[in-house]
């Protein structure tokens, strides 16, 4: 998406080049607030906000802002130099203490289905958009603070965020980006110097925790819920304005608004969502709260809350304690939930189209795009040139059934699989145990490998090796292909928790250490193997490692 420069901005840009890389060089073009109806009430008090897409609201200043970490890649994207990011002014701006000329902070109005039920108005309860930057490449990027104080959408909460959840969001957004998963980004993580009260498991044990702010960055933070709220309130004119705005700004290739364009737009949202979910399934990411207010219209992973990474392959696993009973957001259910969420978006925009068929067709495209995307992705994980339904359907189904029978680390298993050599003439003679030897590192409890399961696994390996021999790829090329889609390093739940424990004790260095590691998730990184190890036993039932809540 390229931005057409206006005459006014050209002058600003000329002035800006004089201090490139600095905060004063940022060029703001606040299109969302300039083009869409806002809340006429300027007072920052919690309330329903009808007939508006946003409310203007300033961040709440804090006592003692301090930089904990920043992402140099995102800084680069926004045209900020490393010197700028280490300046006091940067910390002041990105904790919410100071506004730059051109910033026009606002919170967005949205609703959403939470755990399957319509929840009415939600909105940016603790997110404040500072403004929209146009970078030197002409890309539009919204700068958004999370945890910078209450807004009209804060309902009964405080508008703040604690350090542990902010570290998790900061690191995971960047880790996902480097894994090649569509995501919102994180520019900075700052400490506010203030304490925030949280009852982590809602069980009557509140604690004071360090407050923090993450500056998130994305071309758009619009969620399905932004469209749903206007449909639910019968604000169809406003719904149309928002859809027209979104198409013009983020989907410009679709052209002029019409019922046909709207259907094509929805089709594109379906396609992007399918692609995002395929990536999640590839890397073992469980979002944890796939409510419709947490679904990005651009198909980006958004709102890192009680997410988790699959350790042992278990499609029924959810990291979110709030979801422990229904397990609506379990790993294996994510594709179906995304579809359900898309149906809710289809319902919301139906008044603009007036026909069910095009929406249904797009939803069918989702199912098809997901299915074929997943098959190709799995074929890639197994190192095949392409998915061959005759052989691969059964091979993949059988593998996933085997993986779920004993606690098997998904990341290690697929990485190790690349080490098997189907062309090795000695492989034919190998016993079950010899065949399984390269994979043993992946098992949490080797005792769970019964004779029967060993037999099943070894038989599967034999079939797999036969299949790799039939493929026209050489062993070295297959390994390279596999290692490019099967990460060695992911943000294991316990690793994030170790960085949190240290940071809460005053040492933030492990955040940078993990960020550096996760910049190259597919590389071997000699000396860093410890970070690729399976979850240690102490982390098995530890809060933050295996159990997370929405309290953040
Ligand atoms: P989430 O479950 O994080 O997606 O949040 C659901 C809704 O609750 C969103 O409208 C959030 O803005 C809001 N919310 C979550 N935490 C807070 C908080 N500490 N203060 C204000 N609003 C919040
Ligand atoms: Mg949310």
Residues 160 and 126: their CA atoms lie apart, in Å, by 6
**Residues 84 and 184 placed together within one structural domain of the fold:** yes
What is the CA(552)–ligand 1 centre distance, in A? 9
DSSP annotation of 342 reads: H
Three-state SS for 544?
coil
Residues 418 and 395: their CA atoms lie apart, in Å, by 16
**Residues 281 and 361 placed together within one structural domain of the fold:** yes
pLDDT at 240: 98
Q: What are phi and psi of 158, to 5 degrees?
A: -95, -5
**Residues 194 and 254 placed together within one structural domain of the fold:** no
52: which residues sit within 8 A by CB, 6+ positions away? 37, 38, 39, 40, 109, 238
**Residues 425 and 528 placed together within one structural domain of the fold:** no
Helix axes 236-250, 334-353, angle to 10 degrees: 110
Residue 552 lies in a domain: no
Please give the angle made by the CA atoms of 88, 94 and 99, to the nearest 5 degrees: 90
Give the pLDDT band of residue 546 (cuts 50, 70, 90).
Answer: confident
Residue labelled with tokens 């002029």: 256
Strands 111-114 and 117-121: antiparallel
The average pLDDT across 152-175 equals: 98
Lowest mean pLDDT among 132-146, 210-224, 419-433: 419-433
Distances in Å between the Cα of 274 and the Cα atoms of 29, 152, 302, 368, 369 are 31, 33, 15, 9, 6
Q: Judge whether residue 4 has pLDDT over 80.
A: no
Residue 151 alpha carbon, nearest atom of ligand 1: 21
**Residues 528 and 510 placed together within one structural domain of the fold:** yes
What is the CA(126)–ligand 2 centre distance, in A? 9
Pocket test for ligand 1, best of 157, 212, 216, 302 (most atoms within 8 A of CB): 157
Residues 305 and 88: their CA atoms lie apart, in Å, by 28
Residue 546 lies in a domain: no
Residue 548 lies in a domain: no
State the CB neighbour count (10 A cutoff) for residue 166.
29
Give the pLDDT band of residue 9 (cuts 50, 70, 90).
Answer: very low
**Residues 422 and 450 placed together within one structural domain of the fold:** yes
DSSP letters, 275-330, are: HHHHHHHHHTEE-S---GGG-BTT--B---SS-EE-SB--TT--SBGGGTTT-TT-
Q: Which of 380, 413, 434 is the last residue of a domain?
A: 380
**Residues 268 and 371 placed together within one structural domain of the fold:** yes
Q: Which of 350, 380, 410 is the last residue of a domain?
A: 380
Helix axes 163-179, 493-504, angle to 10 degrees: 140
**Residues 207 and 236 placed together within one structural domain of the fold:** no
What is the CA(28)–ligand 1 centre distance, in A? 27
Q: What is the pLDDT of residues 450-485, one digit of tens each?
A: 999 999 999 999 999 999 999 988 999 999 999 999
Residue 393 lies in a domain: yes
Mean predicted lDDT score pLDDT of the chain: 95
Write out the H or E segment, with its range, that includes residue 386. none
**Residues 447 and 520 placed together within one structural domain of the fold:** no
Q: What is the pLDDT of residues 305-349, one digit of tens each?
A: 999 999 999 999 999 999 999 999 999 999 999 999 999 999 999
The average pLDDT across 138-162 equals: 98
Give the pLDDT band of residue 19 (cuts 50, 70, 90).
Answer: low
pLDDT at 16: 44
Reported in sequence order, the residue ranges of 328-450 that DSSP labels E, i.e. its strands, are: none
pLDDT at 8: 40
422: which residues sit within 8 A by CB, 6+ positions away? 464, 465, 466, 467, 468, 469, 475
Q: In this structure, which residue's CA is closest to atom 23 in ligand 1?
A: 125
DSSP annotation of 447 reads: G
Contact 151, 124 (CB under 8 A): yes
Q: Which of 163, 192, 227 is the last residue of a domain?
A: 227
Residue 110 alpha carbon, nearest atom of ligand 1: 10
Considering Cα of 71, then 76, then 81, then 84, what sign does the dihedral take?
A: negative
The average pLDDT across 213-219 equals: 98
Structural domains in the chain (count) = 4
**Residues 131 and 212 placed together within one structural domain of the fold:** yes
Residue 123 alpha carbon, nearest atom of ligand 1: 10
The average pLDDT across 430-446 equals: 97
**Residues 213 and 196 placed together within one structural domain of the fold:** yes
Residue 4 lies in a domain: no
Residues 336 and 333: their CA atoms lie apart, in Å, by 5
Q: Is 303 in the pocket of ligand 1 (CB under 6 A)?
A: yes
**Best CA proximity match to 272, nearest among 364, 184, 366:** 366
Contact 96, 223 (CB under 8 A): no
Q: What are phi and psi of 193, to 5 degrees?
A: 80, 5
Lowest mean pLDDT among 26-35, 143-152, 446-455, 535-544: 535-544
Q: Is 160 in the pocket of ligand 1 (CB under 6 A)?
A: yes
Q: In this structure, which residue's CA is closest to atom 13 in ligand 1?
A: 125
Contact 18, 3 (CB under 8 A): no
Residue 1 lies in a domain: no
What is the CA(551)–ligand 1 centre distance, in A? 9
Lowest mean pLDDT among 7-21, 177-191, 405-419: 7-21
Measured in whole angstroms, how far is the alpha carbon of residue 542 from the centre of its chain? 23
pLDDT at 64: 97
Pocket test for ligand 1, best of 44, 46, 114, 122 (most atoms within 8 A of CB): 122
Residues 89 and 205: their CA atoms lie apart, in Å, by 37
DSSP annotation of 127 reads: E
**Active site amino acids:** 293
Q: Which domain holds residue 499?
A: 493-539
Contact 522, 484 (CB under 8 A): yes
Ligand nearest to the CA of 119: 1
What is the CA(146)–ligand 2 centre distance, in A? 11
Reported in sequence order, the residue ranges of 199-286 that DSSP labels E, i.e. its strands, are: 207-218, 285-286
Q: Is 211 in the pocket of ligand 1 (CB under 6 A)?
A: no
Ligand nearest to the CA of 552: 1
Contact 306, 320 (CB under 8 A): yes
Whole-model pTM: value is 0.96
Residues 351 and 159: their CA atoms lie apart, in Å, by 34
**Residues 58 and 142 placed together within one structural domain of the fold:** yes
pLDDT at 200: 85
Residue 171 lies in a domain: yes
Three-state SS for 14?
helix
Q: Is 71 in the pocket of ligand 1 (CB under 6 A)?
A: no
The average pLDDT across 16-42 equals: 90
**Best CA proximity match to 171, nearest among 512, 506, 486, 531:** 512
Q: Judge whether residue 18 has pLDDT over 80.
A: no
**Best CA proximity match to 232, nearest among 119, 363, 106:** 119
Residues 121 and 232: their CA atoms lie apart, in Å, by 10
Considering Cα of 311, then 315, then 320, then 324, what sign does the dihedral take?
A: negative
Contact 314, 290 (CB under 8 A): no
Residue 529 lies in a domain: yes
Contact 551, 305 (CB under 8 A): no
């Amino acid at each position: 998406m390229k931005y057409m420069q206006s005459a006014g901005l050209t002058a600003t840009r000329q002035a800006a080049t004089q201090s490139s890389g600095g905060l004063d060089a940022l060029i703001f073009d606040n299109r969302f607030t300039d083009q869409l109806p806002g809340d006429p009430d300027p007072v920052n008090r919690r309330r329903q906000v009808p007939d508006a897409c946003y409310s203007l609201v300033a961040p709440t200043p804090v006592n003692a802002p301090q930089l904990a970490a920043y992402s140099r890649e995102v800084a680069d994207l926004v045209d900020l130099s490393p010197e700028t990011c280490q300046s006091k002014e940067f910390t002041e701006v990105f904790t919410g203490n100071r506004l730059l000329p051109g910033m026009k902070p606002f919170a967005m109005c949205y609703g959403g289905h939470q755990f399957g039920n319509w929840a009415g108005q939600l909105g940016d309860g603790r997110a404040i958009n500072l403004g929209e930057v146009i970078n030197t490449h002409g890309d539009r990027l919204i700068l958004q603070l999370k945890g910078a104080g209450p807004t009209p959408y804060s309902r009964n909460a405080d508008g703040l965020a604690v350090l542990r959840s902010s570290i998790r969001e900061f690191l995971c957004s960047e880790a996902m980006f480097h894994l090649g998963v569509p995501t919102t980004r994180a520019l900075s993580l700052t400490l506010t110097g203030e304490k925030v009260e949280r009852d982590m498991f809602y069980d009557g044990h509140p604690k004071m925790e360090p407050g923090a702010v993450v500056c998130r960055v994305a071309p758009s933070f619009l969620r399905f819920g932004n469209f749903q709220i206007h449909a639910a309130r019968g604000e169809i004119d406003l719904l149309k304005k928002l859809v027209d705005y979104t198409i013009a700004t983020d989907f410009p290739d679709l052209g002029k608004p019409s019922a046909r364009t709207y259907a094509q737009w929805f089709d594109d949202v379906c396609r992007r969502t399918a692609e995002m979910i395929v990536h999640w399934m590839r890397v073992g990411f469980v979002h944890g709260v796939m409510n419709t207010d947490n679904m990005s219209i651009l198909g980006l992973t958004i709102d890192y809350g009680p997410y988790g990474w699959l350790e042992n392959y278990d499609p029924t696993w959810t990291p979110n304690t709030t979801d422990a009973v229904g397990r609506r957001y379990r790993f294996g259910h994510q594709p179906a939930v995304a579809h359900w969420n898309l149906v809710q978006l289809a319902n919301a925009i139906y008044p603009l189209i007036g026909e069910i068929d095009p929406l249904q067709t797009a939803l069918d495209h989702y199912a098809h795009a997901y299915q074929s995307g997943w098959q190709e992705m799995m074929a890639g994980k197994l190192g095949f040139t392409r998915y061959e339904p005759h052989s691969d359907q059964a091979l993949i189904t059988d593998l996933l059934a085997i993986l779920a029978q004993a606690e098997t680390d998904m990341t290690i298993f697929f990485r190790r699989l690349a080490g098997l050599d189907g062309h090795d003439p000695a492989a034919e003679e190998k016993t079950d145990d010899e065949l399984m030897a390269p994979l043993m590192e992946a098992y949490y409890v080797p005792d769970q490998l019964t004779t029967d399961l060993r037999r099943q696994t070894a038989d599967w390996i034999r079939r797999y090796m036969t299949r790799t021999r039939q493929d026209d790829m050489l062993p070295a090329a297959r390994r390279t292909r596999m290692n490019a889609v099967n990460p060695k390093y992911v943000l294991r739940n316990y690793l994030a928790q170790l960085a949190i424990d240290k940071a809460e004790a005053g040492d933030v260095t492990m955040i940078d250490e993990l960020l550096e590691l996760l910049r190259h998730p597919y590389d071997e990184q000699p000396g860093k193997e410890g970070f690729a190890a399976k979850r240690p036993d102490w982390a098995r039932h530890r809060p933050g490692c295996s159990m997370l809540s929405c309290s953040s």
